[in-house]
Amino acid sequence: MLKRMALLSIILIGCATVGEKKEIRPSTSAKPSTETYTDRIISVKVDAIPIKDPNSPVWLGAPLTTLNITPQNIITPKQGKGTIKQIKVRSIYTDSELGILITWKDETKDVYDYSDHFCDKVAVQFPLDNKNLPSFMMGNMGGRVHIVEWKAVWQEDVERGYVDINDIYPNYWTDVYWYVNSGEDSVRLEPPRIEEFKDPEAFKFIPAYAARNSDMKIERSWPVMEYSAEGFGTLTPQHRQDAKGWGIYENGEWKVVIVVPRSASDAYNTQIYDKTSVAFAVWDGSNKDRGSRKGYTMWIPLELRK
């Protein structure tokens, strides 16, 4: 027993070095939870959420919820046949934040978004009004939802720098990238990377950037984005981005952490006191999932265990 506790403490100290400086441990129980559910998510209180460590034993202190994924075949374009059948969810919380760990089997790791290739993604949805639940499918007119999305390509952006065209197509090259190549620099042996775009004029030649598309961020702190929605096709990036997240792929499985503030001053965010509801959507890039071609769950009650 002593040996096991010693081992556990080593693991805990080890995980504390990843992303967070202080030691992170569940305040309720150091033991892995044996509770399993399929119809609710029980969130347990911890001192701090190991955002960047989905393998932290802190997550194991929370009950495991297994949810079946349904192919989105309600509206066009439909997913048809989905490849992700189940996701597994654990949740922990602190005084200020709620964390959700989502894991799912995916034989292919799809990171880049190009041509007919799509990246893997997952999203968590919260209702703004848990007493009057809006449609589980992105809300409805007057029934707003708060959505946090994680994308594999954003994870790459954060970890290794913005995925440049050079990373996807090393030999793609336009003769002149305006306001980038000049003087001696105009004769080059390889195309310039985005880091070399210094002159603000150069960014005028990157249309979505120039148009201030909120999804197009060259500098990104977290691989997640927060949105509001009131029905199909209404997904709108929030001005304030409060959510955090992290994802890793190992052994044919994605493990993604999404963290939201429990009580944000942002009126577009959900406020989480003792309970709320969540719904999930998941995309497999290899299945050419994107947009409404996704797998989803309906609303699942989420309870914060005292």
Site for other proteins, rule CB under 8 A: 73, 75-80, 112-117, 153, 164-165, 168-169, 172-178, 194, 205-216, 232-233, 235, 288, 290-292
Residue closer to other proteins by CB (options 87, 153) is: 153
Residue closer to other proteins by CB (options 198, 275) is: 198
Residue 134: CB minimum distance to other proteins, A: 19
- Cβ atoms of 139 and 229 closer than 8 Å: yes
Q: What whole-number distance in Å separates Cα of residue 264 and Cα of residue 275?
A: 16
Helix, strand, or coil (residue 9): helix
Residue closer to other proteins by CB (options 53, 156) is: 156
Residue closer to other proteins by CB (options 19, 231) is: 231
279 closest CA partner among 26, 67, 107: 67
Residue 190: CB minimum distance to other proteins, A: 13
Residue 245: CB minimum distance to other proteins, A: 18
Residue closer to other proteins by CB (options 5, 210) is: 210
Residue 235: CB minimum distance to other proteins, A: 7
Residue 94: CB minimum distance to other proteins, A: 32
Residue 252: CB minimum distance to other proteins, A: 24
Query: CA-CA-CA-CA torsion for 201, 203, 206, 207, nearest 10 degrees?
Result: -70
Q: What whole-number distance in Å separates Cα of residue 74 and Cα of residue 200?
A: 44
227 closest CA partner among 92, 74, 123, 91: 123
Residue closer to other proteins by CB (options 37, 112) is: 112
- Cβ atoms of 53 and 15 closer than 8 Å: yes
Contacting residues for 147 by C-beta, under 8 A, at least 6 apart = 123, 124, 125, 126, 138, 226, 227, 228, 229, 235
Residue closer to other proteins by CB (options 104, 118) is: 118
Residue closer to other proteins by CB (options 129, 215) is: 215
- φ, ψ of residue 183 to 5 degrees: the values are 55, -135
Residue 175: CB minimum distance to other proteins, A: 8
One-character DSSP codes across 139-173? -BTTB-EEEEEEEHHHHHHHHHS---HHHH-TT--
Looking up tokens 């449609």 gives 135
Q: β-pairing, 224-229 with 145-151?
A: antiparallel
Residue 195: CB minimum distance to other proteins, A: 12
